[in-house]
């Protein structure tokens, strides 16, 4: 009861303000970030899984064992099935019926499990969204098919022997990106009609996809159960397998959020430590007094620890509330991007994380300074000059470091990340501490020659040399963490945007006949859509490597290679190296050369364990083609440009029959261009990737905004550290200012010297922060985020400037009280 009253009195006396707000902020940051990350994750995963039309997909070349599906049913997963095959479709059975080569996709009624189909009731008509799929007897068609076959919605269409009714036009499918080389316009039908078609026979080219959706834990468990039951031709796929770009961005964003969260808590922890230290210093005499009145040290500790615990409980409740609000604000800010169709479920985990964070922060940051209270001697009531004894700084900071390490490891479950950040912070402390000490000594000497405000300021800096060096380290740590996050954030976002810059090709044209090439080229360039060259494609098969069969070679090297190369490959020829390919070994052939050479893609070369000088033999048509590898190329498979494993000199392949392909960028407002184009070239296949690219962009924008908002949160805790740190030196400043003013110093002089002192400290801290931020970014990008490091000259300017301005302002505002209090009041309290 007495403890409670003590807590209330401290609160009323303003002693607990910073301590309580530091705990509230720590809790709010972690709770807010975890809540937000959880919702973002759920939202984005739900949205990204549109690429699969499910959460997971089991791909197979033949129907899977029904037991696998039955088990999925028992664990509560939702399921759908897809059957895909290329086939000719007809408008009728008579001789003059129109026919067209198509890609048929037969789906079960629950398709799609995630995402929607964009459909229309006429070709190129108004698009609406649908989560339904064709009913038995119905067929939905690619809009191109209608003019090509001269049919309309309501007409009938033969797929094999089944006569189906065209009931809708299908504009996009959620899992379109997955069927990249499913050439031919889409025909979507119900899987129940498949037997009637009589097309699917043993040995026909049919691919099977089994779609699953459910809770992440259910999916993971099922995936683990499935693992040893899969045949080599079956593959369990998640988003990462289909869209590695999104999956990577999400992973990095998550790492960033965690890193930011941990640093935010670290900053709040420093604020807690500083506030607790000041609290315990101010309570030193209080405790001495209580002891003289007969309180035992056990009693004192009971009072203070239970107070601390109570404070933690209150701060956790308030912090959780604030965290919830933060998350709500984030979500509402992101609403434009964020198409949350169903409200994601919120687990208790973020709140548990918040509560544990509060407890660990208090134990590691606040308890040590309070422990030192126990050692307060009651004799201090008689002798104020008595030295304060107690817990050493090393112990205080040591427990703080252990506390934050435990928290970081707990949040991230990533030992490397934890150690890297701790090492960075530790190095900053050591280097910056030493530098700060020397710079402060030096500046004080220089200042002696300057005007009175400056002289006073610099003398004051030197007098509190050690205290200021510690403060400079804390300031520069705070600024460094802010710069660090800003740097990592901007390079993450830049990298994401570079991946898919404006104007990225979003449509592919394949199956261009040789005779159409000049006209296609002209149309594209007339409409300012050209960009990528038109590449010829010749189908060929690799038969031997260094005189050994592909089978024998891959058995010797990497058995999975056989799956990749023992099939028809798209070969191309060119005299010019594709502009975004990089030669990593060997040389490109001179234009017009008639040489038996090939240029191979680097990843494939690595897997096949071949390099310069190795010989390959291809079968093109019925002729064999022997070549030597003379160059190895690196390329970006996700660039949305035509990419090839093998490129030959023109003279070697030109004589074989080829079709042509290219990619181009079509702005969304000019989508109508495609209608005319398709009518003009009915045999060319257009693959529309714009919907996929837009979706990827949207997701990346979401992640970027999330990252920016979190950075904002961290800045708040950085500022809190600054204020706590300035407050820590407030007491001695009160005395000094009172004495100076008693001796006749004007308010202006004292204020001026305070502003100068803090700005100079900030400038120094900012400079040191820029140095350590660059160092840490280098480490993080090179070793953790797997990105290339680029120096950032601007931090060397921005660091010192924000340091001087922020710390100058924080110092000025906090210390204004110092000069506004009459000196006599201060001196009477001494």
Where does this chain bind other proteins (CB under 8 A)?
Answer: 2, 5, 9-10, 12-13, 15, 285-286, 289-299, 377-379, 381-384, 825, 828-829
Q: How far is the CB of 372 from other proteins (least distance, A)?
A: 15
Under 8 Å between Cβ of 682 and 148: yes
How far is residue 182's CA from residue 142's CA, in Å, rounded to a whole number? Answer: 13
* Tokens 């007809």 found at: 90
Nearer to other proteins, 129 or 820 (CB): 820
- Whole-Å CA distances, 790 to 112, 114, 491, 780: 43, 40, 9, 12
Q: How far is the CB of 289 from other proteins (least distance, A)?
A: 6
Nearer to other proteins, 290 or 722 (CB): 290
Beta-carbon contacts of residue 282 (< 8 Å; ≥ 6 apart):
15, 731
Across-strand partners of 549? 544
Nearer to other proteins, 2 or 438 (CB): 2
Q: How far is the CB of 796 from other proteins (least distance, A)?
A: 45
Q: How far is the CB of 11 from other proteins (least distance, A)?
A: 10
- Which residue, 523, 616, 525, 517, is CA-closest to 571? 616
Residues 657, 658, 660, CA angle at the centre, nearest 5°? 160
Phi and psi (nearest 5°) for 115? 80, -175
Task: Answer positive or negative: Cα dihedral of 213, 214, 216, 222.
Answer: negative
Nearer to other proteins, 277 or 489 (CB): 277
Q: How far is the CB of 827 from other proteins (least distance, A)?
A: 12
Q: How far is the CB of 732 from other proteins (least distance, A)?
A: 16
DSSP state of 134: P
Q: How far is the CB of 4 from other proteins (least distance, A)?
A: 11
Which pair of structure tokens corresponds to residue 687? 């693959």
Q: How far is the CB of 492 from other proteins (least distance, A)?
A: 47
Nearer to other proteins, 701 or 735 (CB): 735
Q: How far is the CB of 306 from other proteins (least distance, A)?
A: 14
How far is CA 360 from its chain centroid?
27
How far is residue 106's CA from residue 96's CA, in Å, rounded to a whole number? Answer: 27
- Which residue, 403, 496, 482, is CA-closest to 776? 482
* Tokens 């592919």 found at: 508
Under 8 Å between Cβ of 52 and 237: yes
Nearer to other proteins, 374 or 609 (CB): 374
Nearer to other proteins, 415 or 730 (CB): 730
Beta-carbon contacts of residue 189 (< 8 Å; ≥ 6 apart):
104, 105, 106, 107, 134, 138, 139, 140, 159, 164
Under 8 Å between Cβ of 119 and 128: yes
Nearer to other proteins, 370 or 658 (CB): 370
Q: How far is the CB of 362 from other proteins (least distance, A)?
A: 21
Nearer to other proteins, 279 or 337 (CB): 279
Which pair of structure tokens corresponds to residue 658? 């080829």
DSSP state of 391: -
Nearer to other proteins, 302 or 557 (CB): 302
How far is residue 36's CA from residue 34's CA, in Å, rounded to a whole number? Answer: 5
């Amino acid at each position: 009861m007495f403890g409670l009253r003590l807590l209330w009195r401290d609160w009323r006396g303003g002693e607990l303000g910073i301590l309580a707000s530091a705990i509230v902020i720590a809790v709010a940051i972690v709770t807010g970030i975890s809540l937000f990350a959880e919702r973002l994750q759920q939202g984005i995963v739900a949205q990204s899984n549109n690429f699969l039309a499910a959460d997971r997909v089991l791909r197979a070349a033949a129907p899977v064992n029904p037991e696998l599906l039955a088990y999925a049913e028992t664990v509560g997963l939702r399921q759908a099935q897809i059957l895909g095959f290329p086939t000719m479709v007809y408008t009728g059975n008579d001789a003059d019926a129109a026919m067209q080569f198509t890609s048929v996709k037969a789906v079960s009624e629950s398709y799609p499990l995630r995402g929607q189909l964009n459909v229309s009731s006429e070709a190129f008509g108004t698009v609406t969204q649908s989560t339904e799929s064709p009913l038995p007897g119905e067929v939905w068609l690619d809009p191109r098919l209608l003019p090509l076959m001269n049919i309309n919605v309501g007409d009938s269409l033969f797929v094999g022997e089944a006569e189906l009714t065209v009931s809708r036009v299908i504009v996009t499918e959620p899992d379109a990106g997955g069927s990249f080389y499913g050439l031919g316009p889409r025909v979507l039908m119900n899987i129940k009609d498949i037997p009637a078609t009589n097309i699917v026979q043993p040995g026909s080219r049919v691919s099977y996809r089994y779609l699953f959706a459910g809770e992440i834990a259910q999916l993971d468990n099922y995936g683990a159960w499935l693992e040893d039951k899969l045949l080599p031709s079956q593959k369990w796929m998640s988003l990462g397998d289909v869209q590695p770009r999104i999956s990577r961005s999400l992973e990095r964003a998550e790492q960033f959020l965690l890193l930011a969260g941990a640093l935010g808590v670290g900053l709040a922890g420093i604020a807690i430590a500083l506030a607790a230290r000041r609290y315990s210093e101010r309570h030193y005499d209080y405790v001495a007094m209580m002891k003289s009145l007969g309180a035992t040290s056990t009693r004192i500790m009971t009072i203070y620890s239970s107070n601390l615990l109570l404070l933690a409980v209150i701060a956790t409740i308030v912090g959780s509330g604030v965290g919830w609000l933060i998350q709500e604000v984030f979500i509402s800010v992101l609403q434009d991007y964020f198409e949350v169709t169903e409200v994601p479920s919120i687990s208790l985990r973020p709140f548990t994380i918040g509560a544990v964070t509060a407890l660990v922060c208090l134990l590691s940051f606040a308890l040590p300074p309070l422990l030192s209270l126990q050692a307060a001697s009651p004799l201090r009531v008689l002798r104020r000059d008595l030295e304060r004894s107690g817990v050493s700084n090393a112990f205080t900071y040591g427990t703080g470091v252990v506390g934050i390490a435990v928290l970081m490891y707990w949040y991230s479950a990533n030992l490397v990340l934890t150690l890297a950040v701790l090492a960075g912070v530790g190095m900053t402390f050591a280097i910056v501490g030493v530098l700060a000490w020397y710079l402060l000594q030096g500046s004080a000497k220089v200042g002696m020659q300057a005007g009175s405000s400056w002289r006073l300021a610099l003398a004051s800096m030197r007098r509190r040399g050690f205290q200021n060096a510690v403060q400079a380290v804390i300031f520069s740590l705070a600024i460094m963490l802010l710069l660090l996050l800003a740097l990592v954030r901007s390079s993450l976002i830049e990298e994401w945007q570079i991946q898919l810059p404006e104007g990225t090709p979003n449509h592919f044209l394949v199956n261009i006949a040789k005779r159409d090439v000049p006209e296609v080229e002209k149309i594209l360039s007339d409409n300012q859509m050209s960009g990528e060259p038109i590449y010829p494609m010749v189908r060929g098969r690799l038969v031997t490597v260094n005189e050994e069969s592909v089978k024998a070679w891959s058995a010797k090297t990497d058995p999975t290679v056989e799956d990749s190369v023992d099939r028809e490959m798209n070969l191309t020829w060119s005299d010019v190296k594709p502009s975004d390919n990089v030669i990593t070994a060997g040389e490109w052939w001179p234009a017009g050369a008639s040489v038996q050479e090939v240029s191979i893609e680097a990843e494939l070369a690595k897997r096949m364990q071949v390099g310069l000088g190795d010989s390959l033999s291809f079968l093109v048509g019925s002729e064999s083609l022997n070549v030597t590898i003379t160059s190895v190329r690196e390329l970006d498979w996700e660039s949305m440009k035509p990419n090839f494993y093998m490129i030959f000199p023109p003279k070697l392949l030109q004589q074989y029959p080829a079709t042509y392909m290219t990619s181009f960028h079509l702005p969304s407002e000019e989508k109508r261009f495609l209608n005319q184009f398709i009518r003009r070239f009915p045999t060319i296949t257009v693959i529309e990737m714009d919907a996929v690219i837009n979706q990827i962009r949207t997701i990346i924008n979401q992640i970027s905004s999330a990252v920016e908002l979190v950075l904002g949160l961290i800045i708040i805790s950085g500022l809190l550290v600054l204020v706590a740190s300035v407050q820590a030196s407030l007491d001695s400043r009160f005395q000094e200012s009172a004495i100076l003013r008693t001796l006749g110093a004007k308010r202006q002089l004292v204020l001026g010297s305070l502003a100068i002192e803090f700005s100079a400290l900030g400038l120094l801290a900012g400079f040191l922060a820029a140095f350590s931020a660059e160092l840490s970014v280098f480490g993080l990008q090179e070793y953790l985020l797997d990105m290339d490091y680029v120096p950032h000259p601007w931090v060397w300017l921005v660091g010192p400037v924000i340091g001087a301005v922020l710390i100058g302002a924080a110092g000025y505002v906090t210390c204004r009280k110092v000069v506004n209090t009459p000196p006599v009041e201060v001196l009477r309290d001494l």
